[in-house]
Structure 1
Amino acid sequence: MIYFIFTTTGCNLHCTYCGNDPEEMCMPLKPTYTVEELQAFLEKDVKVSKEKPTLVLYGGEPLINLPFVAQLLEQVDANFVLQTNATLLDRLSRAQLEQFASILVSIDGDKETVDRNRGAGTYDKCIAGCKAALEKGRIRNLVARGCAMEGNDIFASAMHLLHHPTIPFTHFYWQLNVGFDAPMRDTFETWVRESYNPGITKLVNEWIRVMETEGKVMGIVPFLSLTESMLEMDEKGEVIEPRIWTGPEEIEEEETEDEFDIEDLLPAVKKAKEEMKKEKLAAAAARASSSATPSSSSSPETMVRPDPRPLRPLRCGIGYNAFSIATDGKIAGCPCGVGEKWNMLSDDFKEVADPRASLCGKLKFTPPCTECDIADLCGGRCTYCNHTKYWGGNYHRVVCNLTIRHLINELIRVFPVVKGLLKSGKIEREPFTYPAEQYSLEVIP
């Protein structure tokens, strides 16, 4: 099991997409429980699983509460992952640094990009922290984990971090700044079409070029995990083919209250529902095997799944085998939604007798993700956005069907090349089996 441990809600930065307001996180500044109490809870899990848990130290900036971090590292037998802005990374000793299976550094790209998103001088402090830590000892897995949004060039950011002149980042991952507030930003879709998607295409081409010319698989996390899934599907005899969107090009939104029904949110789509459903079913039937039975209950903005492939679990593991422990001991699914009713699973971890029986599978995923034709590869992008739906139907149309579908189709395009390079021995399979979930990387940006 994977547990996100909030060591504090405080942070020493003020990133534009976060704001650093501990009061909004619905929990105390620091843990009110003891490490011994947490250890007793984890032992209940280990008794059943016979495996070490993974603790992802989270915040805020987790290293602000260094005494608690040090106590966890000293007393708890676990696999440790750290999500940090790296400005305080030099405070960890060599022995402490070497206990982490992976350290995820919040860095979006070059100096201009980082300082614009996270505050003037942040890039230099982040790089200095990484450098000081590396001088103390080896970091097994150092991931550049960025945020991508308007103003960010995803290709330039990836190249800068994967080929950094002083910090040897082993992998690069990014999350899109989408769906955390309402309404959808007016500039987002234009940025996706004119910058982000072309950048993804360019990045995929560079990824392949390096494989072909250098025999090296660059550690671009979404590319690795999605390609590994395709390899597994191919080995089972499944056809790897492009996923074509047949849904609406535009969805008109209406003003809504915080609580809403998706049908009420999309009047234009609702009106055309029957016509669209016929088109989707026809498209699905053309691509499905003779035994496929397409769903007729698809949400209006979702293309029905074309065949009976099983839905894969959410790649980040939230609600399946990954959970969050707040500073007051409450257990949530997604760490981004602590305090929200749909996300809360226990008021006190000390009262949970069997973590697996009490937590696993209790956080339900809902349409449109469960009915989407790319769900077998995507798994559902984000639990938080799936439940809150702040961007309404345009979330699925723009985020899923512009960004994720483009990413998946670009990787499908080059999949035969990857297979050929593997068969010839030019590249190895091992890089594709990177344990992204275990390192708290969501895979789907």
Structure 2
Amino acid sequence: MLWFVLTTGACNLACKYCGGSFRNEHSPWRPRAAPGEVAKFIASRDSSPVVFFYGGEPLLNPQYIAEVMDALGNARFGIQTNGTLVKRLPTELWRRFSTVLLSIDGPKEVTDYYRGVGVYDKVVEALRWLKNEVGCRCKVIARMAVSSRTRLYRDVVYLLGLGFDAVHWQLNVIWTEEWGPAEFLKWAEESYLPDVARLRDLFLAEARRGRVLGVIPFLGIYRALLVRPYDWVPCGAGKHSFAINTDGRVLHCPIAVSEKWATAGHIKIGIKNGVKLKDKCLTCEYRHVCGGRCLYTHYEDYWGEEGFDAVCQVTKRTIQILEEGAPILAELMRGGVVRKEDIDYDPLLDSTEVIP
């Protein structure tokens, strides 16, 4: 199981697409759930948990991280962080992480526009510090938000060239004010989807050389097409993954700290409530690949059905573009050029969403 542990609802940034901190009444900035209680709850339900620290910005509360890690010695640890406060956590703890996701959107001009002036330099410094000085053997993943200023091919190739082990991205849709469904679809047809095809061609070219690029949405989709399909949303929310909020509530989704449907239970009483997908997803021909995409969007229709369908349309086209290359990758796997294990990607181990 994947467990997100929120260490605080506060954030030290105010990025354009999320606005920064959760409200204190929804995710207390000073946790009311003690680290030991959280660790005990996880340990009682999972003998080999995957634990990711989350926020807000989790490194605003490094002591909380340290205490949970100390109490869960057998867990696989990861963190999703904006990368500006990495030196707040001791180097010996960084060496215990299996995965670190650093939020960065691409080149400096793109990252700083959306995340704030100077953020790019701090994230790159964090990447180099973890790799070179700390000697962290963890997988370091670039965590992108893809918006109107993104040029997907350029930005993913750029981040891989910086030294990230992999790149994961999410589309800035549904709750954004940057664009609406019509503008998003126009941008997708003119920029995003052509770049998905270019990036697929690069991915396959490298695969022919025996090198599997860490393009996480491609790995996740090719896993479903060639190895094993998804039976639920790939991030696992509400079934294979839960979040523990700073007030002790257990959530189906880590970003849904105020939404009533998202409360699955409490660390004092256990997990009591379930969730479901929309009927249109249950009958979709791509359900085995997409899994339903994002649980949050099934309950929070900020763009309405028009917006849900717009993102769904782009998702289907993305899958179709990768399907076109699937026979090539399958042949490389049969010939031993690419190992099955390199394509059998498990997003729960990295806390990633493979359907952007």
* Range into which the TM-score falls when normalised by the shorter chain: over 0.9
Q: Secondary structure at 2:175's aligned position in 1?
A: coil
Q: Matches of residues 89-238 of structure 1 in structure 2 within 5 Å? A: 89-134=86-131, 135-164=133-162, 168-181=163-176, 184=180, 186-212=182-208, 214-232=209-227
Larger radius of gyration: 1
Amino acid corresponding to residue 23 of structure 1 in structure 2? R
Q: Secondary structure at 2:268's aligned position in 1?
A: helix
Please give the alpha-carbon distance, in whole angstroms, between the structure 2 residues aligned to 1:321 and 1:62.
22
The alpha carbon displacement at 1:64 in A equals: 0.7
Please give the alpha-carbon distance, in whole angstroms, between the structure 2 residues aligned to 1:370 and 1:25.
35
Residue matched to 2:284: 372
Provide the TM-score with structure 1 as the length reference.
Answer: 0.76
Distance 1:97 1:107, change over 3 A: same
Kept in 1: contact 2:102–2:143 (CA 8 A): yes
Residue matched to 1:414: 325
Residue matched to 2:264: 345
The alpha carbon displacement at 1:136 in A equals: 1.4
Amino acid corresponding to residue 232 of structure 2 in structure 1? P
Deviates more, 1:133-142 or 1:95-104: 133-142
Residue matched to 1:271: none
Residue matched to 1:251: none
Kept in 2: contact 1:89–1:130 (CA 8 A): no
Q: Matches of residues 234-273 of structure 1 in structure 2 within 5 Å? A: none
Distance 1:106 1:379, change over 3 A: same
Q: Matches of residues 252-331 of structure 1 in structure 2 within 5 Å? A: 312-331=231-250
Amino acid corresponding to residue 329 of structure 2 in structure 1? V
Instruction: Identify which of 33, 55, 61 aligns with 1:59.
Output: 55
Number of equivalenced pairs:
353
Instruction: Identify which of 318, 335, 339 aligns with 1:428.
Output: 339
Amino acid corresponding to residue 10 of structure 2 in structure 1? G
Gaps of 5+ in 2: none
Please give the alpha-carbon distance, in whole angstroms, between the structure 2 residues aligned to 1:180 and 1:375.
23
Q: Percent identity?
A: 33
Distance 1:24 1:36, change over 3 A: closer
Q: Secondary structure at 1:150's aligned position in 2?
A: coil
Q: Secondary structure at 1:336's aligned position in 2?
A: coil
The alpha carbon displacement at 1:198 in A equals: 0.7
Kept in 2: contact 1:150–1:191 (CA 8 A): yes
Kept in 1: contact 2:174–2:308 (CA 8 A): no
Per-residue CA deviations over 1:303-332 (Å, capped at 9, x if unaligned) read: xxxxxxx97111110011211111110111
Instruction: Identify which of 76, 80, 84 aligns with 2:81.
Output: 84
The alpha carbon displacement at 1:399 in A equals: 0.6
The alpha carbon displacement at 1:232 in A equals: 2.7
Distance 1:19 1:93, change over 3 A: same
Kept in 2: contact 1:90–1:133 (CA 8 A): no
Per-residue CA deviations over 1:321-361 (Å, capped at 9, x if unaligned) read: 21111111011101121221111122x31222xx5xx46xx
Amino acid corresponding to residue 339 of structure 2 in structure 1? E
The alpha carbon displacement at 1:133 in A equals: 2.2
Deviates more, 1:4-13 or 1:386-395: 386-395
Q: Which runs of 4+ in 1 moved over 6 A?
A: none
Please give the alpha-carbon distance, in whole angstroms, between the structure 2 residues aligned to 1:443 and 1:410.
15
Please give the alpha-carbon distance, in whole angstroms, between the structure 2 residues aligned to 1:25 and 1:58.
17
Kept in 1: contact 2:95–2:137 (CA 8 A): yes
Kept in 2: contact 1:90–1:130 (CA 8 A): no
Per-residue CA deviations over 1:210-245 (Å, capped at 9, x if unaligned) read: 122x32110111111211222236xxxxxxxxxxxx
Kept in 2: contact 1:7–1:69 (CA 8 A): yes
Provide the TM-score with structure 2 as the length reference.
Answer: 0.94
Q: Secondary structure at 1:187's aligned position in 2?
A: helix
Residue matched to 2:355: 444
Q: Matches of residues 385-400 of structure 1 in structure 2 within 5 Å? A: 385-400=297-312
- 1:333 to 2:252 alignment: yes
Deviates more, 1:367-376 or 1:172-181: 367-376
Q: Secondary structure at 1:104's aligned position in 2?
A: strand
Q: Secondary structure at 1:350's aligned position in 2?
A: coil
Gaps of 5+ in 1: 234-309
Kept in 1: contact 2:95–2:134 (CA 8 A): no
Deviates more, 1:224-233 or 1:6-15: 224-233
The alpha carbon displacement at 1:366 in A equals: 2.0
Kept in 1: contact 2:144–2:168 (CA 8 A): yes
- 1:35 to 2:31 alignment: no
Kept in 2: contact 1:92–1:133 (CA 8 A): no
Kept in 2: contact 1:15–1:117 (CA 8 A): yes
